[in-house]
Structure 1
């Protein structure tokens, strides 16, 4: 018998869905600023950029059909950035492999607009129509980025100004047609531009 030991990093602050609780706690309340929150958002976008441009091909977060579920896949570090934790549903985006058949389509809430339109389109009257199931790629992740970032920015002084400066690129993320959405490369460039505009030290 062969024993296998898996060692992973431990992050005591928990997952990103606890952002509000962490930043409102006595230990971290002084860091509950737009700079900290933007840093969280930037690290999230950087992670998505790496997945979409990884050495082993374009990868997508398949198990991300709800906001809370998506946030739960990222852990908050002591430096108040995000790291990806749940890798069991990070799959290669390849239409030939019929990615859509493996992306937990049965967990998608067709009444919610969190998942991309191409993920929700096969639903009619609450039922899945397999004949209309389209292939989709990493652009389904792009659709979700503005909603995730909106949560991370929260409601602190300056967060609405940052939102305003990200408005144009976020609108493109919400384009109905996937090909019209920007790549993570474009998103990351825009986020860094906004970060360097508002904060004295580049992020």
Structure 2
């Protein structure tokens, strides 16, 4: 989505400023269930957004992300991130200058080699687009991501073999349980067999 279209659909004022972008991001995170602080003091500077998203994150917002602005934002975040373990996130629009876009994307890929750093291009990531459905978050748990576990194929003997191999104690317990109820099974079996034979004998007598 073009930044101009994003701004229009998000209802930004015209002309819009960086603080409008900060508020948009903050509102989206709050709607997901996270807490946010804008312009929060951080190591002698002021971080655009501090949030408990991703277990704790410091976000630096830039209107447009190209190679230079990404480097600048990462440098600021490295300062804000001293003496804490927060995720360091740069957020903004991918530059509309088509000539600068390849270097912006390459720079983002390079700086993200540091697992602590993340670059978010708001206008090309679907979950951040205006009106897009978002995941409802509680701490680090996302309801939208929740999936029921896939049930195994219980008719596949390979699954049972691997299951017993991985959990031999269960096999021992099952065997002990079976041996414990075996006398009762025999008793029930013989009683049923005896009743059947007796019933057949009575039927034979009545037929004669």
TM-score by length of 2: 0.22
- The structure, 1 or 2, with the larger RCO (C-alpha pairs under 8 Å, 6+ apart) is 1
Bigger radius of gyration: 2
